[in-house]
Structure 1
Amino acid sequence: MCGLAGLYYPETPKPVDPARIRAMTEAMAVRGPDGEGVWTAPGVGLGHRRLSIIDVEGSPQPMHDGEGALSVLFNGCIYNYRELRAELGAKGWAFRTGGDTEVLLAAWAAWGPAMLDRLNGMFAFVIHDARAQQLFMARDRMGVKPLHYARLADGALAFSSELKGLLAHPLLRRVPDIRAVEDFLAFGYVPDDACIVAGVSKLPAGHYLLVQRGKPVPAPVQWWDVSFADRAKGSTKALEEELIAHMREGVRSRLVADVPLGAFLSGGVDSSAVVALMAEASPQAVRTCTIGFAEAGHDERAFAATVAERFRTDHDTRVVSSENFGLIDRLVAAFDEPFADASALATYQVCALAREKVTVALSGDGADEIMAGYRRYRFQAAEERVRALLPPQFRSQVFGTLGRLYPKADWAPRPLRAKTTLLALADEGAEAYARAVGVTTPAIRARLFNDAARRALNGHRAEDRYIAAMRDAPARDPIDRAQYADMKIWLPGDILAKTDRTSMAVSLEAREPLLDHRLVTFAARLPASMRLRHGEGKWLMKKAMERYLPREVLYRPKMGFVTPVSDWFRGALAGEAAALSRSRVLADTGWFDMEALRSIAEAHRAGREEHGRTLWQFVMLERSLKRLFA
């Protein structure tokens, strides 16, 4: 795990100041505390910070081939690098190092962009080919590792693992993009097709960018996608065994490391499955760590302890409470863009706990997306069955009217909160799902934005990207479409960004075995009933794991890794919520109705309405705007 940054002049090979490259990499020093390197040539500058995981004493970066024609910057890990080394060695490549970085140089020389299909790993890398006068940038299939880029006023293409690397360059204009603010308020994160700093792009997951000197910078090219269009055939038992084989290989391939390795253990199905398969593959006790909460309804430590005891892991725990609110400035610095998935606070804590003993930690991220584990998939399936039975006009009139008349009732028991369901049934499936994955609804956003903001947005609406993704998905049924959209938008924008930034903030490498691309491809081909059956998400995965895990872990109600911010804003942090309406940073944007913000904070504190996540969004937005633009 590392940080990379650099400059490339596509038109004219202007000189590059090494000090500027060094400033860009130093802004991300925490991503690579074990080594640094800067290399420049006419028209190109490459910089790197290294966290040593494989070939600890070797493989410095930027790395060059023996003739100096090829240079590479690499962030991530190629899990099948040994197999590729053998294949490329047979083709005549004489390896000078023992790690996975040099494999990228050899693979580019042998196969060019087609090399990507052969890589099993998480990665963002940049290759400079002096002979071909090309710069090649690529990102892994699922978007585990980030890569940002922007054109500068002097013609340079600047690139960096994180936004902060670009911000270290004085020619990057710092202008906020209100469309990204709309996206953030809708979802709680800025998606990969947007950026809070206008003019900055993120290379999409499963894409590459090939820049040829003397030609315009082209659009990124998609080199991989997941398809739900085909269905696997076979008995339940056969598919169960195939699923376990893919999961086992995903875990075992990610145990390659020359440094101490462990796992996050929340006590849920996904992390428990990873720990079980790690224990099966490891001769030593697996090191595990768990974060709990003082609030009982959010605390899973007892379940994690059950799994730790079952597999005799070396287990540590830590508790998060509202007293840890002071860490949010550290999170703001880690994420750069506003990020309001409140579980980032706990994720940071579990990463810090893991780093005390290990340098690499495996997580259970991704299983909910690939195996339909979220409750919203169950709701979407049920709602689509109703939609299929009734004409659209009838649904719009009847359910829309009932939904508007039904009280919001945030205070009521869940079965009585029918307003959201009624309004969802009035909409088409993609529109309803786009709202279901959101945080702050279009109605509340309209209330919080003022007229100037609405004019600046010029019709831009965050939910439209979800609707387009579901419409164009290579899929067979509504659950396929919802999962596909989540894999393209939610997974890289929220889940993987959260894990990358919080782990890198403490110089820890996190790996996601349940996002092995072979497992993802297999899961997408499963019949929908193997993923979601009788309201049970991850059905086949849970059935397959019965041989490893107790039923009270597999089939208990899903809690999720959720920080109890709503409770905090009615208690210890009520003052923080009230202060938002007096924020000069928010007021100076000229975008918000500050009285509306005061009103929702008061309604939440009094328990009349539920706005905890929206208030957390504004806390994070205020601090991010202050850090980036004030």
Structure 2
Amino acid sequence: MCGIAGLFHPGTPKPVERLRVLAMADALAHRGPDGAGVWTAPGVGLGHRRLAIIDVAGSPQPMHNGDLTVTYNGEIYNFAEVRADLQALGARFATDGDTEVLLHGWRAWGPAMLDRLNGMFAFALHDAGRQCLFLARDRLGVKPLHYVELSDGSVAFASELKGLLAHPLLRRSPDARAIEDFMGLGYVPDDTCLVAGVRKLPAAHFLLLERGRPVPPPRRWWDLDFTRRARGSAADLGAELVDRLRRAVRLRMVSDVPLGAFLSGGVDSSAVVALMAEASSGAVRTSTIGFEEAGHDERAYAAAIARRYHTDHRERTVAADDFALIDRLTAAFDEPFADASALATFRVCELARETVTVALSGDGADEAFAGYRRYRFQATEERVRSMLPGSLAPRVFGAAGRLYPKADWAPRALRAKTTLLALADDGATAYARSVGVTTPAVRARLFTPAAWAALDGHRAEHRYVATMRDAPARDALDRAQYADLRHWLPGDILTKVDRTSMAVGLEAREPLLDYKLLEFAATLPVAMRIRRGHGKWLMKKAMERYLPRDILYRPKMGFVTPIGAWFRGPLAGEAGALARSPRLLERFDAHAIAALAEDHRTGRAEHGRTLWQLVMLDRSLARLFG
């Protein structure tokens, strides 16, 4: 895995200073500790930091082939297959790695080469003959790519925001809408950035910059289709699922450096480890993080899988004092990031890196096979809405929701207020709110009246609603999964894994996000995704030969950090100090923040995630804008 950065002048090909590109690349040194390279020509400069995984002794970057030059971050898992196709067309290769495939692929197929690649990647390829720079990102957004148009007319790009921040012409001012998006969702989504003017190339998009032409909008080159349905019995589809899982895992086990896996003890990581063990001649190296709080600790389940498959297993515990990691996390993410499981993810990456350079993760199965509890709620709520005429449902459920008391302290079965109010909305709006962190009502209280008005009606949830309404889908579950794959997956899950793994020089691979596996999963009938209260039904059924029932069918715990308990205990003072932050008080009301912290501390309400958001936002604003 690597870090890339560079500059391109779409207008007049002005000279590019090598030291400027070097500074941008060096800001990404953590992503590539094994080597560095810079190449410049009139109007263009490409920089690279390398973490050597395949063809360790060869494949230096930026890499050249005639008038083509590429800087690349990622892995093309099927590069041997693509390489053979290109050799059949007459291509001659000078290296044994996957980078050179991009150069010959561009020469043979142009942008259409992306359709042939199975991997995670972000790259910039310069074609001197065509006088263009081609930027591309993988289908799911596993690897990041940021870019910005600068005042001198150039376009700068980098794997992470810090690469752009190293350029002196980048103007730093916060984007107010991005702050609203962060407070609503818990992350800054891929269609915006906390630094105004900076953009992220969306997943499954490319950007073709051509000399003499204005910067165009990115173009989508792949999408996931939920409109088709597979035919076949559960046994037949389950067998196909296992076969696709097996192939996805084995593709990602190709490495010239030590390789292992994250093991949480849940279904997804356990499935990956089981299939790795099946394919491996030696013991799989596994790493687990646990928590001091028993209700969040899954080490016993991870240990059971480790014993079953005789893995070389290591574990470590995360405690409240790991809050000291916050400055390292702020530096790793650049933008504010409020998924508190990043603490544990950082620690498991750190643990894995002690013995391996590549680790396979179980990320992606919940989105692909409908594993989240919110999918079951969404499907149920849509059935209930359908029982009443469209005009009647908002009135009936809205009135009931307003009358029902709010009871965060009560057993879950008695906390119906949120559900009733959700039923009063249309399905897309209700789901958009369910995936958020801080509700619009709470955000309205937190923002000062002037800051709230300045948003001019922009709300974090709007992108979800629009995506669900336009989704290539057949029903409510399809639309919810599609929206999560477009927003939640790249914005939260994959950002978390990329930044925490790269911060310690570890390459993380996600076999459960193999695009062929996802395309198959999108065709599964709803009843094979959710059945009898279980999400990921077909996946669990198909894995019964590999995993014990207490792993497959126990209640989902999730890889979470007990942040709510921390803010009532050792971190209560940190929460109280938020109301005195000058950076937050530029946009938020001090009394509202103080009330939020006090209500949480005393147990009157649960605001742990919102408090964590405010802490992370405060630190990020200080780091980015002083």
Once residues 300 and 398 of structure 2 are traced to their aligned partners in structure 1, the CA distance between those partners, rounded to angstroms, is 43
Q: Does 1:196 align with 2:194?
A: yes
Equivalent-residue separation in structure 2 for 1:609 and 1:595 (angstroms):
16
Alpha-carbon distance in structure 2 between the residues aligned to 1:175 and 1:492: 24
What is residue 287 of structure 2 aligned with on the other side? 289
Match of 1:82 in 2: 80
Q: Please show how residues 116-155 of structure 1 align to structure 2 within 5 Å.
A: 116-155=114-153
Distance, in Å, in 2 between the alignment partners of 1:37 and 1:408 is: 58
| Residue in 2 that maps onto 1:627 | 623
> What is aligned with 1:62?
62
Secondary structure class of the residue paired with 1:546 = coil
Question: CA offset at residue 585 of structure 1?
Answer: 2.0
TM-score (norm: length of structure 2): 0.99
Q: Give me the whole-angstrom Cα distance separating, in 2, the residues matched to 1:178 and 1:271.
A: 38
Candidates 208, 221, 224, aligned match of 2:222? 224
Matched residue type, 2:33:
P
Corresponding residue number in structure 1 for 2:601: 605
Secondary structure of the equivalent of 1:537? coil
Displacement of 1:412 after TM fit? 1.3
| Partner residue of 1:570 out of 560, 568, 571 | 568
- Residue of structure 1 equivalent to 2:15: 15
Give deviations 1:22-50, integer Å, cap 9, x for gaps.
Answer: 11011110000000001100000000000
Q: How much does 1:88 deviate?
A: 1.1
CA-CA distance at 1:539 after TM superposition: 0.1
**Structure 1 position 403, deviation (Å):** 1.3
Q: CA deviation at 1:317?
A: 0.4
Task: Give the drift of 1:87.
Answer: 1.6
Q: Find 1:399's aligned residue among 381, 397, 400.
A: 397
**Do residues 541 (structure 1) and 539 (structure 2) align?**
yes
What is the CA-CA distance between 1:584 and the residue it aligns to? Answer: 1.7
Tell me how far 1:455 sits from its aligned partner: 2.5
Counterpart secondary structure, 2:212: coil
Report the 3-state secondary structure (helix = DSSP H, G, I; strand = E; otherwise coil) of the residue aligned with 2:386: helix
Match of 1:513 among 511, 514, 517: 511
Three-state SS of the structure 2 residue aligned to 1:262 is strand
The equivalent residue for 1:275 is: 273
Output the CA distance in 2 between the equivalents of 1:215 and 1:572: 56
Give the distance between the partners of 1:453 and 1:247, measured in 2 at CA: 48
Name whichever of 263-272 and 227-236 sits farther off.
227-236
Tell me the distance in 1 between the aligned counterparts of 2:86 and 2:226: 33
* Equivalent residue, structure 1, for 2:439: 441
Whole-angstrom distance in 2 between the partners of 1:75 and 1:281 = 27
| Cα distance in 2, alignment partners of residues 233 and 393 from structure 1 | 36
AA matched with 2:241: L
Match in the other structure for 1:336:
334
Shift of the alpha carbon at 1:357? 0.3
Where in structure 2 are there 5+ consecutive unaligned residues?
none
Q: Distance in 2 between matches of 1:464 and 1:403?
A: 22
Q: CA deviation at 1:378?
A: 0.4
Correspondence 1:84-483 to 2 at 5 A: 84-483=82-481
Q: Deviations over 1:377-417 (max 9, x none)?
A: 00001100000011233222221122122222111111111
Residue 320 of structure 1, CA deviation = 0.4
CA distance in 2 between partners of 1:176 and 1:407 (Å):
38
Q: What is the CA–CA distance in structure 2 between the aligned matches of 1:201 and 1:128, rounded to whole Å? A: 20
What letter corresponds to residue 602 of structure 1 in structure 2? E
Mapped to 2, the partners of 1:609 and 1:406 lie a distance apart of 16
Moved more, 104-113 or 408-417: 408-417
Letter in 2 for 1:623: R
* In structure 2, distance between residues paired with 1:378 and 1:86: 45
Per mean C-alpha deviation after superposition, the further-off stretch among 165-174 and 388-397 is: 388-397
Partners in 2 of 1:409 and 1:357 — Cα distance?
47
Paired residues in the alignment total: 626
CA distance in 1, matches of 2:169, 2:102: 31
1:16-31 paired onto structure 2 within 5 Å = 16-31=16-31
What SS does structure 2 have at the residue aligned with 1:47?
A: strand
Structure 2 Cα separation of the partners of residues 405 and 26 of structure 1: 58
The one-letter code matched in structure 1 to 2:337 is F
Deviation, 1:12, is 0.6
State how far apart, in whole Å, the 2-side matches of 1:253 and 1:282 are: 12
**How far has the Cα of 1:586 moved from its partner?**
1.3
- Residue by residue, what CA displacement relative to the aligned partner does 1:419-469 show, whole Å, maximum 9, x if unpaired? 110110111100000000000000000000112212221111111100001
Alignment-mate amino acid for residue 217 of structure 2: A
Q: Percent of counterpart pairs with the same letter?
A: 72
Match of 2:587 among 579, 585, 591: 591
Which amino acid in 1 is paired with 2:622?
K
Letter in 2 for 1:310: R
Letter in 1 for 2:581: S
Q: Deviations over 1:272-303 (max 9, x none)?
A: 00000000000010000000000011000000
Q: 1:615 aligned to 2:611?
A: yes
1:184-227 CA distances to partner (integer Å, 9 max, x unpaired)? 00110000001000000000000001111101111101000000
CA–CA separation in structure 2 for the residues paired with 1:244 and 1:498: 27
3-state SS of paired residue (2:102)? helix
Code of the residue aligned with 1:610 in structure 2: it is E
TM-score (norm 1): 0.99
User: Following the alignment from structure 2 to structure 1, what is the Cα–Cα distance between the partners of residues 79 and 181?
Assistant: 38
1:311-348 alpha-carbon deviations (Å, 9 max, x no partner): 00000000001111000110000000000000000000
How far apart are the structure 1 equivalents of 2:526 and 2:193? Answer: 34
Counterpart CA distance in 1 for 2:219 and 2:108 is 20
Tell me whether 390-399 or 566-575 shows the greater mean CA deviation: 390-399
How far apart are the structure 2 equivalents of 1:532 and 1:126? Answer: 41
Report how far residue 51 of structure 1 moved: 0.2
Give the letter for the 2:486 counterpart: K
CA distance in 2, matches of 1:530, 1:326: 43
The residue matched to 1:392 in structure 2 has which SS?
coil
Unpaired stretches in structure 1, ≥5 consecutive residues: none
CA deviations on 1:214-271 (whole Å, 9 max, x unpaired) are: 0111110100000000001111111011101110011000001100000000000000
What letter is aligned with 2:258? P
- Secondary structure of 2:522 counterpart: helix
Match of 1:36 in 2: 36
User: Could you say what secondary structure the match of 1:454 adopts?
Assistant: helix
- For residues 3-32 of structure 1, give each alpha carbon's deviation from its aligned partner in whole angstroms, at most 9, with x where no partner exists: 000000001100001111011011110000
| Counterparts of 2:405 and 2:433, CA distance in 1 | 18
Question: Deviation digits for residues 489-544 of structure 1, max 9, x if unmatched?
Answer: 00000000000000000000000000000000000001111111121100000000
